[in-house]
A and B are shown apart, each in its own frame.
Chain A
Amino acid sequence: MEQKGNLLEIKNLKVSFFTPAGEVKAVDDISYNMGYNEVMGIVGESGSGKSVEAYSVIGLLQNPGKVTGGSIIFEGEDILAYNEEEMRKFRGNKVSMIFQNPMTCLNPVYTIGNQLIEALTCHDKSISKEDARKRSIEMLEKVGINNAEKRMEQYPHEFSGGMRQRAMIAMALICKPKLLIADEPTTALDVTIQAQILEVMKDLQKQENTSIIFITHNLGVVAEMCDKVSVMYAGKIVEQGDVDDIFYKPAHPYTKGLLESMPRLDAVEHERLIPIEGTPIDLLNPPQGCNFGPRCKSCMKICLSKKPPVADLGKGHISACWLHFMKKEEEVK
């Protein structure tokens, strides 16, 4: 079943943290659309605002963080206008989330079964206990946990790291949400376990037609999982496009830098890495011009004084960099 239209529209979203030291614009004016049945990757370094942006979609922003502008429209409804009660119904039912560390979200004193059933009954009061139990066991089997019935009676500490992450995925998908936010779901895992989890997520995505926002800093994982990619730097989306465009035709210097700086397993010869010089900016005192300007190889005068506009490179491929505008001017001349 193909559904048309946008599942999620984010327009000019701004999120700030009001700290004693001053306002930190963690997410600064970002916009994007997500369709049904789509996997969107969000890549960025720590502190680039990728998690904060996702937290605001599911309404989990904590003090001192506040949405200061823009809108988040989910299936035509602005979720920023929801009150607590509506938000609770929305959360888990339509959007759910898995986190980097499953131990922070699983309750250590309840059995896995207990927690899965709770997730179901919270959102569907009419479901009977037996049905809820049956669905939970089914769900555990779907994410590849053997002996699901026995596992239902076990506590999180009896699970290994990979198993916990599987249980988390089961819990997140049990109410059949339309959107799943995965915040670095495999960063804490070993590569072999990571491969298992990615496989489970891919299968379930196809079976359940869930859209996924996949937050990670691992470009390899993005290449494997995602249809679309947004690259974030210091609170802004610097480049966005189809996964092939981002990897084969990167337009923004930061994306290019990231791709060049990564050692590749499939490299033929030893090539020296080309690092991005400098360190990420301090968001308390962002530069006047382009956030990436101070580290950019092709930095121009205008980059240091004015924020770059967004250039449309066709087919939904956008990049926020002055370079694109300079080229056009040259062509005109």
Chain B
Amino acid sequence: QDITLRATANSNENDEDYDGSVVFKNYVEAASNGAIEVEIFMGTQLCSNGAECLQGVADGSIDVYISTSGGASGLFPYVQVLDLPYVMADDRVAEAVLSGDFTRTMRDMALSDSGDAIRLMTIGNTGGWRNFANTQRRIAQPSDIEGLKIRTVVADLPQELVRALGASPTPIPWPELFTSLQTGVVEGTKNGITDIMSMKFPDAGLQYVTLDGHAYMGALWWMSNQRFQELPDDMKRVVVDGFYQLQQATFASPKRKSIQAYEDFVAGGGDLYVPTPDEKAAFAEAAQPVYEWFTANVEGGQEIYDALTSAVAEAETDLETARAADME
């Protein structure tokens, strides 16, 4: 082969990121007829956080990297728009939005911010939706969460959200979270069910999960722009299509994986609560200060927020039309 692409993700082989990487590798190697080889490095062998890995992408030691919004927010603060609660209603809306021009808008913003070094290739999913989970009680309405110590990553937006709901955001590194839940250093967390189960958090007492789906766990797939631009056009096409395949795979993977995770959670005695539409509206109402905070304080916040909300509106209209047609 002529080209070797080195792809890395900081998660392990049980993660959706790995599923996406494998699909990408398989598609690109086959479609390029072996002209492109993809090497996958899972974990932290090459780099261990967003800052390091994106620097690697920029200087050419890494070709492809997947970050969460938190991982890239130190450089591109507006990617936190994906963490804004209750903007996208469900998978169908989210998938339509992320497959469209919204992602291209974000790509342009990141390219111009990184001096044309880092290219956003696609946005997939990693772990489904974030939900509130805790060790103390069922959370059915915003008042139930008041006073709880909720673990967040050290990023502004999730902390603002937790604060807006009257709880206390507590930054704890991911590897220390199990012990911290077990011993009560924190009482809750906001994660997808697959992460909750793969980290065995129920064993640490995390028995209450509320499916409020407050944030879409977007996976941002980055590539070195120079590396991409150096490819001949036919290979660019293969790579772009490869990322499409990858995106589809990561959309699907958590849906399949979460079935077992939910079953295991309930079988272990866990309390799984689905809030009613009214309760969900109450959560959205309580989270209102976060939107104001985001558009006022985050660089590029207004621009990306407008892009997202108009994309959501468009997607919802299209989906209604499609649904109506399908129901005839």
**Do the two shown chains form a genuine complex with each other?**
no
